[in-house]
Chain A
Amino acid sequence: MNRTETQRDARHVRRAGHIAAALVLAQAVGMRPAWAQETPARPVTIQPAPAAPAAAGTQAPQPAIRWEKTFPQIGSGKWTGHRLPDGQPDIQGDWSNSIANHDNFTDPQGGTPGDPVRRKRPLGPRAERAPSRVSYPADGQVPFQPWARAKQQELAAGFWNATRQEYVEPLARCYPAGIPKSFTWHGFEIRQFPHYIVFLFNSGTRIVHLDGKQHLPANIKLWNGDSRGHWEGNTLVVDVENNNSKARFGRTAEFASENVHVQERYIFDNAGRRFNYEATFTDSTVYTQPWTATIPMRRYVAGDPQDGWHYEVPLANHPGKELIADHVERPCIENNGPFGQVAIPKK
């Protein structure tokens, strides 16, 4: 019954073929929201992607993915953009982080230490790459307690040679990437509803409750935690408890414990093209002080080029000329036969 990897790849090829065909057909520009009518801001500096395999264990060649080295700050303030009928700022659609994948949490464009695949060119000075995702404290490092730093380094060292089950990065088993790693694993979609904001990741789905109800009982622990949010102008503020902390922050194995409390701020620019994700992690059992992660995001819209990573959304099949993004099942949402089958040692 189990489908082979070849069959799975063939399925992706079929989907890719459909995407290509749709792109050829998609010349006409129909009705588009304001933020889609102008050319989106491009990264200041463009460089080839660090190794960003779509799936651990598969060797399919990856298209070049564009990453920026710097990104604009976005201030919290009023929302002057489009609103939904329930009054929420309209932030629906497709997004992806603009600097790097999950290879390395604190040196996002530096690749994963110990990667057996030789780099095509030397890494160069640290200052030439995007800053650490740890925006506070200023040294760009997660302020681990000594035991936790030692554990993180042990796990990171074990990543390329998983001699123990706990060295297998949970996402390699196609388990949910959790917070904040989901934001650095392929593009994602935001859907909004009265009382809810839903994030559809390639590695799980997250529902943010906006209706003010209390968190779940503390002994319930979840891969994506339990999220309660509200809007403050252009900023979505989300309080996350009940985190099972099984997910890691990157291939460099930074982590939290089940006691972690995360306060997220999603700060949207009023043009609707970008947002910055800022999350403060507080966990006195793992860290010496609270610290903040910052991950910049940019929007993608129907008709944007498919790049196999940030934006993989095909155009819908329909008789009209309007470009409609078609949101199909996401590879890791289903998790039936995860790619982890090949990432995990057979023994």
Chain B
Amino acid sequence: MRKRWSLRLERPATMVAASLLLASVLLAGTAAAADRIPRLNGKPDFSGIWQTTSAADYDLEPHSTRKDAPPSAGIVVGSVIPYLPAALEQKKKNFAARDTSDPRLKCWTLGTPRGIYYPEPFQILQRPEDLTVVFEFGHSVRTIHNNGTLHPTEKNQYWLGDSRGHWDGDTLVVDVTDFEDETWLDRAGNYHSEDLHVVERWKLLDANTIDYRAAIEDPNVFSHSWEIEVILYRHREQDFQLIENYCFTLDNDKYYPLPAAQ
């Protein structure tokens, strides 16, 4: 009797104590995860092979299931891309022709930010002065200059843009300009002009997870700036490596190589 009473009395106290203990362990764990991110010269080290698990490349905006895309809530903050009226008409045309007009079907370089959330791995190789981003798709290469240099004084047209980064605490902020207008943002025909301007924010949530955000503006296409947010995961399979995917060569594959012996 007494024992039972005692238990009744003590149980809430025990639970409170256990909860407090658990909470402190969780908090410590969270703090430790942030502390344990890999670093290079004191800054977060993004080196590794990364990939999204999202359906972002099918359509950045929310969409129901359709024959060529799984359903997804999208990765656009606020859900809707703020197209200018004429640009929205162009986007609709792109969408209608997406089976043939998506530049990815020609294996053209995906552009920025599309390469980041395209469903093939990409590798970041980091030095203090820059990040080399190699995309498996097309084996294209983007350099994020992180050495205090500025965009070139004259305008250029690059498929992946001209990327200049700086650190904001533990967040890598990258300003990207000087684009081509021949890339799309996804398979649904979302697009941009040469005046695209992207500001990326890369942050390690823990050693194996990147929170990737990008603010996108283009005065020819959008009425105002809008944002995307997507999570990238590290490939942790043993001996995982990029396998160069020069898919633009496939159309003429049958002419090469020569037979080994005759």
A binding-site residues for B, Cβ under 8 Å: 1, 3, 11, 14-15, 17-18, 21, 145, 147-148, 151, 165-166, 168, 170, 173, 175-176, 191, 193-194, 196, 198, 200, 204-205, 207, 209, 213-214, 216, 220, 222-224, 244-246, 255, 257-259, 285-286, 314, 316-320, 324, 326-330, 333-338
Contacts and interface: CB of A to CB of B under 8 A. Distances in A.
Nearest to B247: A335
Contacts of B242: 207
A318 B150 contact: yes
Contacts of A18: 152-154, 156
Given A191-B132, A330-B141, A14 B155 contact: yes
A173 B153 contact: no
B147 A324 contact: yes
A-B residue pairs, 4 tightest by C-beta: A246-B256, A257-B260, A316-B149, A336-B108
B156 A14 contact: yes
Interface in B68-83: none
B241 interface: yes
Given A205-B139, A207-B134, A257-B257, A324 B149 contact: yes
Nearest to A344: B252
A204 to B, nearest CB: 7
B143 A327 contact: yes
B140 interface: yes
B246 A329 contact: no
Interface stretch (B157-165, B195-203, B215-223): B157-165
Interface size bracket, B side:
35 or more
Contacts of A317: 149-153
B125 A191 contact: yes
B125 A196 contact: yes
A259 B260 contact: yes
Given A166-B258, A193-B125, A316-B150, 14 more contacts: A165-B255, A170-B249, A175-B252, A176-B249, A196-B125, A198-B134, A222-B244, A257-B261, A326-B152, A329-B158, A329-B159, A334-B138, A335-B107, A336-B182
24 contacts: A15-B154, A173-B249, A191-B125, A191-B127, A196-B125, A198-B132, A207-B134, A216-B243, A244-B257, A255-B258, A257-B260, A257-B261, A259-B260, A317-B151, A327-B143, A328-B143, A329-B141, A333-B140, A334-B108, A335-B138, A335-B246, A336-B108, A336-B180, A337-B108
